[in-house]
Homo-oligomer: A and B are copies of this chain.
Amino acid sequence: MPFDLEQIDDVIHGRVRLGIMALLVRDEIADFNQIKDQLKTTQGNLSVHLRKLEEAGYVKIIKGYLGRKPRTQVQISQKGRKAFKTYLDEMSRLIEGARE
């Protein structure tokens, strides 16, 4: 049945987190600033959402340097890939259900 909302992963469903995951599932790894620019969000907002994704084990935050400049990268995990796939399947099902 298409309306079992509990099947929709709320960690991913949030609009900004959905954008992060969609981006990472395509690119695997991305710079913090690159994500921020692509999603047109702020540093603070992005940090909050990345923390939530990290707590769920969907992404890994990698802090390092590029030359002397600090650089933060974000990488999707296997668990994150799997969760995103499940999310897409559920949303596809809901969309199909609604279009019937």
Contact = CB atoms under 8 A, between A and B. Distances in A.
A80 to B, nearest CB: 12
Nearest to A89: B95
Q: Determine the main DSSP class of A at the interface with B.
A: helix
Interface residues of A, number: 29
Interface in A1-24: 2-3, 5-6, 8, 10, 13, 15-16, 18-19, 21-23
Contacts of A2: 22
B97 A22 contact: yes
Interface of A: 2-3, 5-6, 8, 10, 13, 15-16, 18-19, 21-23, 25-26, 38-40, 84, 88, 91-92, 94-95, 97-100
